[in-house]
Structure 1
Amino acid sequence: MPAVSPESQASEALPSRRRRTPRGGRHRGDESFLLPPGSPALVLAVPGHARQAGAEVAHELARLVEIEHTGQPAYLAHLEGEEANLNAVLAGLRRDEDAPAAVVVPLSTGPDRAMDAAVHAAVAGSPARAVAAEPLGPHPLIAEALHDRLADAGLARADRIRLMTMVTAASGFIIATPGDAAAVRQAEVTGVLLASRLAAPVFTASLNDVASVKAAAEQLHAAGATSIAVAPHLIGTEPETGLIAPAAASVGSVGSAHSAPLGPHPALARLAALRYVEALSSALAQ
């Protein structure tokens, strides 16, 4: 058998980039990655436990990652409970001293101190070598997904002819994100991108703090907004999902207007594959 050079081994370890046949619709031209056999497992770290409400969202996202972007299984691993626990999933993977066995992608729209700490602790304690990837956001694709959910709720629509946005039921928007003031600051990046897409004022607030949401509403009213809609900056697996409706009601938004959580949006599946590739490339370069 001919010898395989180290350079060849390194190139085989990295996923190859492929361009799929363009699809119709707003996600036309998405880029996918084809993982070669023996690639490290792509593990999606999910907050909460396997039986909680919203768990089906994680399953659908994993399916989209597999069929749309990698061609290989995407594993779900939960941070709580015994079923499909992240520590157990990592312990069950094949071990290779020379290459990572897994890349763990946090299923989160932005940095979350508690979730990041749990993921890094599991990776550090894994018997199989693993790598922790960055959370999905902030990223322009998160703003795209928020825009789509607002459009789905009839709160904003895209003029696909001019590629501009026309606001319908709301003239100001609050990105409501789980977490503390640090999480709000991170979400402000997405807020700027969303405001550009909507041509309307956007402020960010914490779903965990009603006063934060009300303060954002006051800023919007001061900016001239006459009706306000809440855009949840979460996926739907987070425990804060139940705070969305009360947050919208607290600011007196039109019919307590809010869009749905991002859910299994194609942009999130694309981001999960992208974070995997970024983390693996960085690990192999070290």
Structure 2
Amino acid sequence: MTTHERPAPTLIAVGHGSRDPRAAATLRLLVDRVRELRPGLDVRLAHIERNAPLLPDALVPGAVLVPLLFAPGHHVKHDLPAAAALAPGTRVAAPLGPHPLLVEALADRLTEAGWTAGDGASRATGVVLAAAGSRDPESGAAIRTIAARLSERLGGVPVVPAYTSAVTPTVPEALRALAARGRHRVAVASCFTAPGLFATRATAHAPWLASRPLGAHPALARLVLHRYDRALGAAPAARPELAFSVR
């Protein structure tokens, strides 16, 4: 960097926060991987609640807030913009989903758990995409899109979205729906960034195999940077949700 160049805006990755000590540790590993991909970029971690540092304490003017969340619910549409308003020039990036890099990470985690290419061709197999729930209709639409794209990635096997809070179907309900279609060999794909109550609750119902949270998966780290770069392509906005994209 020359004396005339300004440093790139700070990237603040924003997690939800959890009482599970593994959650913050996992997100720190993800942030470390983001730093490795973009040496010299100031990358920080903050949380909406429960874990330090909390987002208001981590803010710097002109930063880009990248939510470590997969859909545009209340936190993305309201909590993050409210925090961004406290620091001049701060942008809020889109959530991590839907995006092909997210689908790549989900598929890889299933493979790690024991899913094989042949499973996608079996009429007995299915997948439940387990995610945190939100009453925001855009959030549900995003999760359904992720499920459809994961189905394509897995060769057309049915992928049913399910939720651990707020809305239905629950994971047990999604499992029963697949069983009614003759799909008794069902995997649970964990659509969470880190371990915690919801991720544990979702995988406890898995009748066959369950993937672990996405954590510091390389594709997720690349996706964080992608959202950061896209946010820098637009002027700071009071309502960043208007710029959300499924790309």
After alignment, is 231-240 or 141-150 more displaced?
Answer: 231-240
1:276 is aligned to 2:232:
no
Distance 1:241 1:120, change over 3 A: same
With over 3 angstroms needed to count, the CA separation of the structure-2 counterparts of 1:215 and 1:130, relative to structure 1, is same
Q: SS of the counterpart of 1:54?
A: helix
Q: In the alignment, which residue of structure 2 is the partner of 1:176?
A: 130
Larger radius of gyration: 1
User: What do residues 173-208 of structure 1 show as CA deviations (whole Å, max 9, x unaligned)?
Assistant: 000110135334321111111111212111111122
Structure 1 segment 24-43 matched on structure 2, within 5 A: 38-43=7-12
Q: CA deviation at 1:218?
A: 3.0
Cα distance change on mapping 1:227 and 1:266 into 2, 3 Å: same
TM-superposed CA distance for 1:49, in Å, is 5.9
Paired amino acid for 1:191: A
Equivalent residue runs for 1:114-125 within 5 Å: 114-125=75-86
User: Partners in 2 of 1:214 and 1:51 — Cα distance?
Assistant: 23
Matched, 1:231 2:189: yes
The CA distance in 1 between the partners of 2:151 and 2:158, in whole Å, is 6
Q: Identify the residue that residue 195 of structure 1 maps to in structure 2.
A: 151
Is the 2:93–2:230 Cα contact (8 Å) retained in structure 1? yes
Q: Report the CA distance between 1:244 and its aligned residue.
A: 2.1
Say whether residues 1:59 and 2:16 are aligned partners.
no
Aligned residue number for residue 151 of structure 1: 111
Q: Which residue of 2 aligns with 1:73?
A: 42
Secondary structure of the structure 2 residue equivalent to 1:228: strand
Equivalent position to 2:74, from 113, 126, 136 = 113
Shift of 1:233: 1.0
Aligned pairs for 1:116-135 (under 5 A) are 116-126=77-87, 128-135=88-95
1:114-151, Cα deviation, whole Å (9 max, x unpaired): 3542111100122x421111111111111111111111
Give the deviation of 1:226 after TM superposition: 2.7
**CA separation in 2, counterparts of 1:211 and 1:281?**
37
Matched, 1:215 2:173: yes
Per-residue deviation at 1:241? 2.2
Query: CA, structure 1 residues 194+82, in 2 after alignment: closer, same or farther (shift >3 Å)?
Result: closer
Contact 1:149 1:262 in 2 (8 A): yes
- What code does the residue aligned with 2:84 have? V
Aligned to 1:147, what secondary structure does the other structure show?
helix
- For the pair 1:186 / 2:142, whether they are aligned, the reply is yes
1:77-124 per-residue CA deviation (whole Å, 9 max, x = no partner) reads 11125731211111xx3x5xxxxx200000112223135421111001
- Provide the alpha-carbon RMSD of the alignment: 2.7
Q: Does the 8 Å contact 1:58/1:237 carry over to 2?
A: no
Partner deviation per Cα, 1:211-267 (whole Å, 9 max, x = no partner):
53233223322433231111111111564223123332xxxx12xx21111111111
Determine if contact 2:163/2:170 at 8 Å carries over to the other structure: yes
Q: Give the structure-1-normalised TM-score.
A: 0.71
Name the CA distance, whole Å, in 2 between partners of 1:266 and 1:120: 27
1:54, CA displacement in angstroms?
1.2
Question: Which shows bigger deviation, 110-119 or 184-193?
Answer: 110-119
Amino acid of the residue matched to residue 134 of structure 1?
A: A
Shift of 1:69: 3.5
2:14 and 2:46 in contact (8 A); partners too: yes
The normalised TM-score by structure 2 is: 0.82
Partner of residue 263, structure 1: 215
